[in-house]
Amino acid sequence: MKNLVLSLALVVAGAFTAIAQVGSGPEIAFEKDVHDFGKMKQYGNASTEFKFTNTGTEPLIISNARGSCGCTVPSWPKTPIKPGESAAIKVKYDSKRIGPINKSVTITSNASNEPNTVIRIKGSIEAAPQGGNAPVNTPVNMAPTNK
């Protein structure tokens, strides 16, 4: 009988230890995981921030953030985010392209709840009016050539 009680006590103690370990470590919680730019004009400001909080018990380290294409450029905090602190990942889209936007950014971190997290941007870029704010890509100080 003593062996049964002792065995039961060890099983219960092991279960409590396993429960206590769940949820420990860094955890990432985003306020939103999708940003909709809606309709915007070509060459407009297509930048946004994805705010997040470390809801875990240890510092959160983001090791990488990678856009799904070269037109989507993320920037992220390079220093550890302490438990309870918040930060943001900035995402800039190159709005010279016309048409729908549906891009993703994959975030790699030491978060125990989501070590690979995906955030998304979406919307639609409409052509800028002729003579509008389009940048001019003309060479400077180029002398005409006569051949």
144 within some domain: no
Q: What CATH number does residue 74 fall under?
A: 2.60.40.10
94 within some domain: yes
Q: Which residue has the higher pLDDT, 128 or 9?
A: 128
**What is the tens place of the pLDDT at every residue in 91-115?**
999 999 999 999 999 999 999 999 9
61 within some domain: yes
C-alpha 67/C-alpha 119 separation (Å) is: 10
Query: If you write DSSP's letter for every residue of 90-132 in order, what string do you get?
Result: EEEE-TTS-EEEEEEEEEEE--SS-SEEEEEEEEEEEPPPTTS
**What is the tens place of the pLDDT at every residue in 40-73?**
999 999 999 999 999 999 999 999 999 999 999 9
- pLDDT for the residue numbered 144: 45
Q: Is 43 within 8 Å of 77 (Cβ atoms)?
A: no
The answer to whether residue 145 scores a pLDDT higher than 80 is no
- pLDDT for the residue numbered 13: 47
Query: Would you state the structure tokens that stand for residue 53, as one six-digit string?
Result: 């909080």
- pLDDT for the residue numbered 142: 41
**Total domains, the chain:** 1
Range of the domain at 63: 25-126
30 within some domain: yes
The answer to whether residue 75 scores a pLDDT higher than 80 is yes
**What is the tens place of the pLDDT at every residue in 2-16?**
555 545 544 444 444
C-alpha 104/C-alpha 4 separation (Å) is: 55
- pLDDT for the residue numbered 114: 95
134 within some domain: no
What are the two backbone dihedrals, phi and then psi, of residue 14, each rounded to the nearest 5 degrees?
A: -65, -40
**119: Cα separation from own chain's centroid:** 5
14 within some domain: no
**Residues 6 or more apart in contact with residue 146 via CB below 8 angstroms:** none
